[in-house]
Amino acid sequence: MTLHLINKSPAKSSALNECLSVLEASNNSSSAILLIEDAVYSALKHPANMALHEKIKKLASPCYLLKEDLLMRGLHAELVEGFTIVDYAGFVQLSLDFKKVQSWS
Amino acid sequence: MQSFTLVVFGAPDSQSSSTALNYAKAVLKAGHHIYRLFFYQDGVFNACSFNTPSQDEENSSVNWQTLIQEHELDAVVCVASALKRGIVNAAEAERYELAASNLRQGFEISGLGQLIDGVIQSDRVVNFLP
């Protein structure tokens, strides 16, 4: 139904955590999350991200990462499993696959 | 073919402005239509013709302008956001008796109504937050 777009690092913003809580509470499996810009740090294999990854694992919604932003930050080799990587063409297609795109700040 | 309205909140030196630009290019490459680009809040700095970054830096304003002119896109700059940040066209400069105007060619100053129209007319609206 909705593609949730997040662009902030989990260290600086609680956007992803709040978005996950909303999806969890609404029991919504027809939505997805796309992490772009500094939000790709959320997929880093790091103890600070463990709670987020647990929440994502429990969720039925798929979680995507923007390839260009991962490569720019050199993170592609240090990711936890469970994320799907898309490029800008995939980003555009995801926006069409879902009815709405909701940006979080 | 689907239609998009993109809302650009980020200044030229922010990543969100270049994310929006890359996204716009990908939309057009996929054969879709951009109904409107709406530059809001600090995003209006992309429409300033006085931006002069160092030569080894990207000039985001010029990159936007090139895309807008190449594809004849409708690029609207929010008037309230623009005026308070000192971005004016010739008409506004005259009205407020300012020394010069600085709206970059290809951009047009208008109101929030144009954003509402974009929301109504487009299949998708994507906000690129700062």
Bridge partners of residue A102, in order along the sequence: A4
- The residues of B annotated as belonging to the active site are 78
Q: What's the predicted TM-score (pTM) here?
A: 0.96
B40–chain A nearest CA distance, Å: 15
Of the candidates B15, B124, B130, the beta carbon closest to that of A95 is on B124
Task: Give me the mean pLDDT over the B117-121 stretch.
Answer: 98
For residue range B57-112, list pLDDT tens digits in order: 999 999 999 999 999 999 999 999 999 999 999 999 999 999 999 999 999 999 99
Where does the pLDDT of residue B43 fall: very low under 50, low under 70, confident under 90, or very high at 90 and above? Answer: very high
Residue B44: φ, ψ to 5°: -65, -20
Residues B129, A92: C-beta atoms closer than 8 Å: no
- At residue A26, the pLDDT reads 86
ipTM above threshold 0.90: yes
- Contact call for B127 and A92, based on CB within 8 A: no
DSSP A65-78: EEHHHHHHTT-TTS
The domain limits of chain B are: 3-50+60-128
DSSP state of B44: G
Residue B118, H or E segment: helix B113-121
The CATH superfamily of B3-50+60-128 is DsrEFH-like (3.40.1260.10)
Cβ-defined contact of A7 to B25 (cutoff 8 Å): no
* Confidence at residue B76, expressed as pLDDT on a 0 to 100 scale: 98
- Token pair belonging to B17: 């402005």
> Using CB atoms, which residue from B26, B123, B126 is nearest to A88?
B26
When divided into structural domains, chain A yields a total of 1
pLDDT value for A60: 85
Whether A95 has a pLDDT exceeding 80, the answer reads yes
pLDDT for the residue numbered A27: 74
Determine the pLDDT at residue A97: 97
Instruction: Give the model confidence (pLDDT) of A16-75 as tens digits.
Output: 999 999 999 987 678 999 999 999 999 999 999 999 999 999 998 999 999 999 999 999
Q: Which residues of B touch A100 (CB under 8 A)?
A: 124
The CATH number assigned to the domain holding A50 equals: 3.40.1260.10
**Whole-number Å distance between alpha carbons of B6 and B28:** 12
